[in-house]
Chains A and B, each alone.
Chain A
Amino acid sequence: MSALADPNAARTHARAMGGTVVEAMPILPPRADDLPASVTADDLLWEETIAAGGYASRTLSRGARLRLIDLKGDACASLLVFNAAMPSERLNIADTVKVQWDAYPSAGSLLLSDMGRVLASIERDDAPTHDAFCGPSNEASNRRHYGDGRNSGIYPNARDRLLLGAAKYGLGRRDVHPCINLFKGVRIGADGAVTAQLGPFAPGRSLVLRAEMELILVIANCPHVLDTRPWSVTPLRVTAWRGAPTAADDPIRTATPERLRAFLNTEDMYRR
């Protein structure tokens, strides 16, 4: 029998846990000692290390930057993106590759919604191995690879992590749309064959997204669906800070006619 037979003892026991520091956890208030020189500590919005096999969801304001760091070289960030004001508008991965005539999103690429608007830009990318084609692992694929894929087990699948993250914002099964996998990549052969780029990569590769509208983001950090190694995934660090909405002469905004029109459509939504 434990010594926690009464509520006072249970309270003392629970409160004694406060202040515990582990590798994967959010820092509140956010604190980071490696912000870009132009960013002040007051602008910091979010600092969290997402566990291997974990997930997070969050709203981001227009202009905010989100930096993702693959701390140990084996993270796989499966990302859903929604318009926070109207979540039926979400990342459309087919439009993202088709409209930009490019199978491989990287620095300067836009993440496009199904409404012809830019949700976010990839402002900086020193990890250009990403995947717009394979989507998240699911319970069935994890069961094949690891013998189990349930959220309640030790090999959770990315799709069900995304489902939980989306549910925290009132979204459901119909809202878990095709995702983009960041840090793990694919290349497509002439015969259509998909070759995965699974690493592990150098520790510390990072990517910075710029929110082009008010967003809900959902991130799962589980092994890539084509990863056949024994369970291999490492923590993912996320840091967000306030920033100015994109200026008219921004080089990403004006890079191509398609991208410019995506910004025009987003700016039109904010014209009121």
Chain B
Amino acid sequence: MDKDTHSAGLTGQVLHDEIVPARAPWLHRMKTGETLRVVDLEGNQAVDFLLYATADDAERYSAQDTIAAQANIFLRTGSKLLSNEGRPMMTITATSVDYHDTIGGACSCESNSLRYGHHTKAQHSCIDNFLEANLRDGRGKRDMVSNVNFFMNVPVEPDGALGIVDGISAPGLTVDLRAEMDVTVVVSNCPQINNPCNGFNPTPVRMIVTA
């Protein structure tokens, strides 16, 4: 068997290793100290990502607290993903991509109608993935907040122009996250086909959890 380059550099025991199909949701509970590696298998695949504190899921990832604390909109190695209580939920311990997004939010059938037109109504979306995963875990629409978009590129120009543009990821690039508390990870492997966030072609991603 070929050497597994996707797990290079990971230490400890592999607790979970799963390919999340293109367009699919994923939910996984992690204990403090465990590390999640997300692998962009085919390149430029947006991975929409939310966190809930397992012990009290009204505490959840807060893009705004995270941005304010690091005074930067981009997530890089060392970025702490903070909760709405200002507590670290996960830390980005390594990434082979320059930066990741947390201002662009998740696509939805409803926002697609604004961005592209009402003809997109029947297309699948990240919000529907987030809802499906959350609904099976006791949460609902009120629990949806601004998310992380790993492997997605959303620059802000000097005049304020903001948008999802061509990605800066590539096949096999990764991001590693260490859990700083017991967390429930909820992911949408983005199904968007109307902008460059997935290179107009949603693809699978791999999730490796170690400890």
Interface residues of A (CB under 8 A from B): 88, 92-95, 97-99, 101-104, 112, 114-117, 133-136, 138-141, 159, 172-179, 188, 190-195, 225-226, 258, 261-262, 265
Taken together as a complex, chains A and B put the C-alpha atoms of A208 and B143 apart, in Å, by 30
From A177, A193, A226, A258, contact of B145 by CB (8 A): A177
Q: Which residue of B62, B65, B85, B111 is within 8 Å of A116 (Cβ)?
A: B111
Q: Which of A192, A225, A226, A265 lies at the interface centre, i.e. has the most chain B CB atoms within 10 A of its CB?
A: A192
Least distance between B21 CB and chain A CB atoms (Å): 25
Q: Which residue of B lies closest to A134 (CB)?
A: B68
CB <8 Å contact, B85 and A258: no
Selected from B63, B74, B117, B160, the residue in CB contact (under 8 A) with A178 is B63
Q: Report if A134-B64 is in contact (Cβ < 8 Å); known contacts: A116-B108, A141-B86, A174-B58.
A: yes
Residue contact B85 to A140, C-beta cutoff 8 Å: yes
Q: Report whether over half of chain B's contact residues are helix, strand or loop; otherwise say mixed.
A: loop
Question: Which residues from A are CB-within-8-Å of B62?
Answer: 135, 178
Partner of A98, one of B71, B74, B163: B163
What are the 5 closest A-B residue pairs judged by CB atoms, nearest first?
A: A94-B105, A135-B64, A116-B110, A140-B86, A192-B74
Task: Check A99–B65 contact: CB distance below 8 A.
Answer: no
A and B contact pairs by CB, cutoff 8 A, 6 listed: A103-B156, A103-B161, A135-B68, A178-B63, A178-B64, A179-B64
Asked if A133 and B103 make an inter-chain contact with CB atoms under 8 angstroms apart, the answer reads yes
Closest to B99 in A: A192
Residue of A nearest to B155 (CB): A190
In this complex, the interface size class of chain B, counting residues with CB under 8 Å from chain A, is 35 or more
* Interface Cβ pair total, 8 Å cutoff: 138
Identify 11 new A-B residue pairs, CB closer than 8 A, beyond the known A94-B104, A191-B72: A94-B146, A98-B164, A114-B111, A117-B110, A133-B64, A133-B73, A134-B68, A139-B86, A159-B84, A194-B73, A261-B113
Contacts of B162 in A (CB 8 A): 97-98, 101-103
Given known contacts A103-B162, A133-B103, A138-B86, is B110 in contact with A88 (CB within 8 Å)?
A: no
| Contact A138:B74 (CB < 8 A) given known A88-B141, A99-B114, A190-B155 | no
A97–B103 CB distance below 8 A: yes
**Within 8 Å of chain A (Cβ to Cβ): is B67?**
yes
| Bound: A40/B74 CA distance, A | 48
Alpha-carbon separation in the docked complex, A172 to B162 (Å): 32
For the complex, give the distance between the alpha carbons of A161 and B135 in Å: 29
- Report A-chain residues with C-beta under 8 Å of the C-beta of B144: 114
What's the Cα separation between A192 and B117 when bound, in Å? 30
Residues of chain A within 8 A (CB-CB) of B154 are 98
B142 within 8 A of A: yes
The residues of B that contact A139 with a CB separation of less than 8 Å are 85-86
Are B110 and A114 within 8 A (Cβ)?
yes
Q: Does B106 contact A (CB under 8 A)?
A: yes
A98–B155 contact, CB under 8 A? Answer: no
Among B67, B112, B127, B156, contact of A134 (Cβ-Cβ < 8 Å): B67
Q: A178 and B115 in contact (CB under 8 A), knowing A98-B164, A101-B162, A133-B103?
A: no
| Residues from chain A with Cβ under 8 Å of B84 in the complex | 138, 159, 176
Which of B112-145 touch A at CB < 8 Å? 112-115, 117-118, 127, 140-145
Instruction: Kindly report which residue of chain A lies nearest to residue B109, judged by CB atoms.
Output: A116
Specify which chain A residues have a CB less than 8 angstroms from the CB of B146 in the assembled complex.
Answer: 92-94, 178
Report yes or no: B87 in contact with A140, Cβ–Cβ below 8 A.
Answer: yes
Complex contacts, A141 vs chain B, CB 8 Å: 65, 68-69, 86
